[in-house]
Amino acid sequence: MEETGKYQQILEAAIELFSERGFESTSIQDIAQWAGVAKGTVYLYFKSKDDLMKQVYEYCYEMDIKACEKEVDQEKNAVDKLCRRMDNIIEYLLSHPKEARIEQMYRVVLSGKKTLPYYQEEMYQAIRGVVEEGIEKKELRDMPSSLLTQIYYGIANGLYHGFQDQPGLWEEREIKEQCHQLIKDSMAGRNS
């Protein structure tokens, strides 16, 4: 239990410091000090700073995925599923701003590399599945599923960037209603 506790302490310290200072401006020593452990203890759990950054990102992303999936399958049609997912994204951003910031920062770090993590593919495919089902049931526009998925993904990415750039800009209820309208206007079929 002690070992898991130290790992979690280090992870939480890294989330705090990376989100506040950025990856480059945070040292392993800073993280160890904030976590209340020796610098060598950090290396017992993480091979390097890059490994720590990657594991912090994966931890944050897993939280994000779980939050985004919450109750989506309980919705009756594709538009409602997409709106529920968008609500979940907004709730995650509001309740986990540090973790969301780390996700954005890590994506920027990876943007120049060809190996974009499987994580983004996982989320993209989940959205695409809802879109394909919606097109088939005529709940969404009769357009290529890849295009509608990109439209949705673009709205979601805009939220992540917007919350980072101007965190106090939106009141939760208003932004949810605006996103629902964007989804309906850009994606819904005529029968929805």
State the first-to-last Cα distance of the chain, in angstroms, to the nearest integer.
52
Closest CA to 182 of 75, 89, 55, 44: 89
Cα 177 from Cα 173, distance rounded (Å): 6
Task: For residue 187, give the H/E element and its range.
Answer: helix 172-187
Q: What is the DSSP letter of 73?
A: G
* Residue 1 in this model has a pLDDT that exceeds 50: no
**pLDDT score for 135:** 95
pLDDT for 44-61, tens place per residue?
A: 999 999 999 999 999 998
Compute φ and ψ for 76, nearest 5 degrees: -85, -25
Work out the number of other CB atoms within 10 angstroms of the CB of residue 22: 13
Work out the number of other CB atoms within 10 angstroms of the CB of residue 152: 24
* Residue 93 in this model has a pLDDT that exceeds 70: yes
Give the confidence band of 153 by pLDDT, cuts at 50, 70, 90: confident
Closest CA to 192 of 80, 72, 87, 75: 80
Global confidence as pTM: 0.82
pLDDT for 15-34, tens place per residue?
A: 999 999 988 999 999 999 99
Q: CB within 8 A of 183, min separation 6: which ones? A: 79, 82, 83, 86, 152, 155
Instruction: List the domains of the chain with CATH numbers.
Output: 1-46 (1.10.10.60), 49-187 (1.10.357.10)
Helix (H, G, I), strand (E, B) or coil at 163: helix
